[in-house]
Amino acid sequence: MAQIIPEGSLTAIYPSPQLHTRLAQLPNSVTVYQQLNANTDDSGLKYWVIQGKQSVLIATLADNSISAKADITEHTLRHLPAIFELTQERNALLPSLMQDHAQHLLPIILLLPETLESKQTIHLKDQGLLAIGDVLLTDALGKVLDRYLGIASSDKVRDFIHTHFCSEIILNTQNGQQITLNPEQEKSLKAGLINNSAQSETTHSTKLLLGVAGSGKSTVLVKRAALLHSLNPNARILILSHNKAMSNVLKENITALTGKNNNIQCHPFMEWCRKLLGGTWQFVYDDQETELFDLMVKRHFPRGEVNRHSLVREVNFIKNHAIASESEYIDSLSSNSSYALANPIRKRIWQTCIDIDTHLKDRKRYLWSNAPGMLINELDDGKIFEPYTHVLIDETHYFAQVWIKLVQRVMANNSQLFLAADSAYNFSGRVLSWHETGIELRGNTINLNKTYRCNKAICKVADGFRVNRSLQTLNNPLCLTNRLELLDTETQPKLLQFPSIKDQKRRLFSEIHQLVNKGIPPQEILVLCASKQVSRLLAQEIKQEINIPATALTGSMIVNNESIKLCDMESATGLESRVVFITGIEELMDLENSPNANAHDRRSLKVEHTHLLHMAMTRASEHLYLLITASEIPEEWQIDGLITPTLSTDRRAPVTYLNTKASAQ
């Protein structure tokens, strides 16, 4: 079977399905690209068929290009305006210096099933065009191709044809060179894009894109949303992500491709829930939630059997699985996303969960984790929301089962669900189970196995960190899937150790100041912190102390595109930057070693933080700086390839004092 991209026929109208089927039946040495167009009635069908170094165009004409009563001869065909337009389009697919030889390099097979007799052919040799009847829709297709393929062309020429025939794969232009999706990404972009097969009116199709960090999942998702919009401008498209920072990036990228459009919505999941619920519901935010859970720990677990971290995780588990009773919660003991706690403790947690809901309800407040369930209840009660034709979810590995179930409830008949995920990451306590969502993934999963973001030095350190922390062999080490060249030693990741938080902050400011002075734009620097509050405070201090614009990627504030970006590590999912600083590592280590945490809590925190820090490291493409305040560097941070200047000097991470307010004191 030939590889045909996309695999579905663009239209269900004759002769498209028949031609598509015949093309798919060609030998597996053949690759076929279908040109995507919203209106084939006005443009006709076009396929680029490649075998080895030879290729040919197969085309049909737009409706009404030829009169039904016309007696087609070589003369009348040659002088048809539609033929002139078709050959001009073909010529434009080739480099200008080769367009005089287009008839030899890229011949055209023109299918005219309703104009010519079945086996009738008309050959315009000087134009490299063969018109043929519906015999092309039979086994004769292979024989026609064998006789009419163009002469061999170079890889460079075929790449040129590819980018002009499939312009949707173009990402941008750098130094006069077009940057495009690679073949793996293009297949992901177009997989399941067109579905004309008969299916139940109450179902939707699903595609899951799994990829390693930096493999282009978000890029493919944005390009797919734009492509779906171009094919059907009236379709309602919803793009969801896990957090505000990533949603802003997605929104900016999709707007750059499509312009502002009311038919395309882009939201963080919880913000979308809030929008559907309306403005009358009040939810508790981070600081309020922390205070509430601390109160509940003191009230229900005065001896420290469960700490706040464990309680938050268990309550989220209950909400995210829509667990409705204590017995159902007890029966969930085997789930790998719920702590293996003794039944008496779990019963107390269930009562604590009820107490939390009652406490908030009396104040007309709710946890954010309640929002999806509240919407599902409204749908069950008959509330109607305008359905979506396409839903695309980025970073799906953060989504809970109940989140996916809610999304499915607001999808139109015969709609499409496209999910992008990295199965290596899970540190939000959700552990998405595809089986529990009811999604059928057999034959509907696509994989991106190569990373293009991080240089090899960063990949090596990120992999080494995971191995040191987990003491397990990695299934898909990034350093083996990396496709970037190893850069010089200045780009090796660095671990900087400090005796105090104050020294750590000064060194951070100094490094940022030097990078900007060397010509790295502020917008290519990302600072990741242990908490949202720290990121907001650091953004203010950077602006005040070193006079460089900085923006915390929190809330709904307007982001300055020419500023340094700061956010907490968990909100960094999906982001990328040329330079990344990871600060506050000691805060995560302190949580793992807290005397208030039991052995199970420590193990769980270590796994969670390992995934979190690995994700944070892989946000960097060129420069990675890890900053830790500690009396000595922990053994697990002594990683091959990670430069640690403090190991070879008496003075820890010497601070370069700047001519700023801070250094003048």
The 10 Å Cβ neighbour count of residue 146 is 10
* Beta partners for residue 582, in sequence order: 528, 626
The more confident residue out of 415 and 431 is: 415
Q: List Cα–Cα distances, 579 to 17, 129, 502, 512, 620, in angstroms.
A: 49, 53, 22, 10, 6
Residues 246-302 pLDDT 10s: 998 899 999 999 998 999 999 999 999 999 998 778 999 878 999 999 999 999 999
Mean pLDDT calculated for residue range 99-108: 97
- 559 pLDDT higher than 80: no
pLDDT at position 352, please? 97
Mean pLDDT calculated for residue range 599-607: 82
Q: DSSP string spanning 533-563?
A: HHHHHHHHHHHHHH---EEE--TTPPP-TTS
Mean pLDDT calculated for residue range 462-469: 89
Mean pLDDT calculated for residue range 134-163: 97
Cα 309 from chain centroid (whole Å) = 28
Q: What value, to the nearest 5°, has the Cα angle with vertex 490 and ends 489 and 494? A: 95
- How does residue 483 score in pLDDT terms, banded at 50, 70 and 90? very low
pLDDT at position 479, please? 52
- How does residue 63 score in pLDDT terms, banded at 50, 70 and 90? confident
- 659 pLDDT higher than 50: no
Q: List Cα–Cα distances, 205 to 440, 448, 588, in angstroms.
A: 9, 20, 41
pLDDT at position 42, please? 84
- 620 pLDDT higher than 90: yes
For the chain, how are helix, strand and coil distributed in percent, rounded to 5?
45, 20, 35
pLDDT at position 585, please? 95
Give pTM, 2 decimals.
0.87
> Which stretch of 44-48, 440-444, 595-599 has the lowest confidence by average pLDDT?
595-599
Mean pLDDT calculated for residue range 455-475: 81
pLDDT at position 178, please? 81
- Closest alpha carbon to 263 in 298, 231, 310, 304: 231
* Beta partners for residue 120, in sequence order: none
pLDDT at position 605, please? 86
* Beta partners for residue 239, in sequence order: 266, 392
- 426 pLDDT higher than 60: no
Q: What are phi and psi of 528, to 5 degrees?
A: -105, 130
- How does residue 190 score in pLDDT terms, banded at 50, 70 and 90? very high
- Closest alpha carbon to 429 in 396, 466, 400: 400
Exposure string for 93-117, b = 16+ CB within 10 A, e = fewer = bbeeebbeebbebbbbbbbbbebbe
- Widest distance between CA atoms in the chain: 95
pLDDT at position 68, please? 66
Mean pLDDT calculated for residue range 460-475: 78
Q: DSSP string spanning 429-472?
A: S----HHHHT---TT-EEEE--B-SS-HHHHHHHHHHHHHHH-S
Q: Are the CB atoms for 252 and 241 separated by under 8 Å? A: no
Q: DSSP string spanning 469-485?
A: HH-S--SS-HHHHB-S-
- 140 pLDDT higher than 80: yes
- 77 pLDDT higher than 70: yes
Residues 497-517 pLDDT 10s: 999 999 999 999 999 999 999
pLDDT at position 649, please? 44
- Closest alpha carbon to 643 in 480, 443, 464, 522: 464
Q: Is the dihedral of CA 347, 352, 355, 360 positive or negative?
A: negative
pLDDT at position 602, please? 83
pLDDT at position 429, please? 44
- 369 pLDDT higher than 90: yes
Q: Are the CB atoms for 625 and 580 separated by under 8 Å? A: yes
- 43 pLDDT higher than 70: yes
- How does residue 651 score in pLDDT terms, banded at 50, 70 and 90? very low
- Closest alpha carbon to 553 in 155, 200, 250: 250
The more confident residue out of 612 and 197 is: 612
pLDDT at position 280, please? 79
Across the chain, what does the average pLDDT equal? 87
- 92 pLDDT higher than 60: yes
- 335 pLDDT higher than 70: no
Both tokens assigned to 135: 């015999």
pLDDT at position 66, please? 87
pLDDT at position 548, please? 96
pLDDT at position 237, please? 98
pLDDT at position 594, please? 83
pLDDT at position 69, please? 64
- How does residue 214 score in pLDDT terms, banded at 50, 70 and 90? confident
Q: What is the distance between the alpha carbons of residues 524 and 518, in angstroms, rounded to a whole number?
A: 13
- 203 pLDDT higher than 80: no
State the residue for tokens 């900087």: 496
Q: What is the distance between the alpha carbons of residues 361 and 378, in angstroms, rounded to a whole number?
A: 17
Q: List Cα–Cα distances, 63 to 42, 44, 120, 123, 165, in angstroms.
A: 6, 7, 20, 21, 21
Percent of the chain topping pLDDT 70: 88
The more confident residue out of 278 and 29 is: 29
pLDDT at position 434, please? 64
* Beta partners for residue 544, in sequence order: none
Q: What is the distance between the alpha carbons of residues 206 and 226, in angstroms, rounded to a whole number?
A: 18
Both tokens assigned to 466: 């995971």
Residues 432-464 pLDDT 10s: 566 666 677 788 899 998 888 888 899 999 989
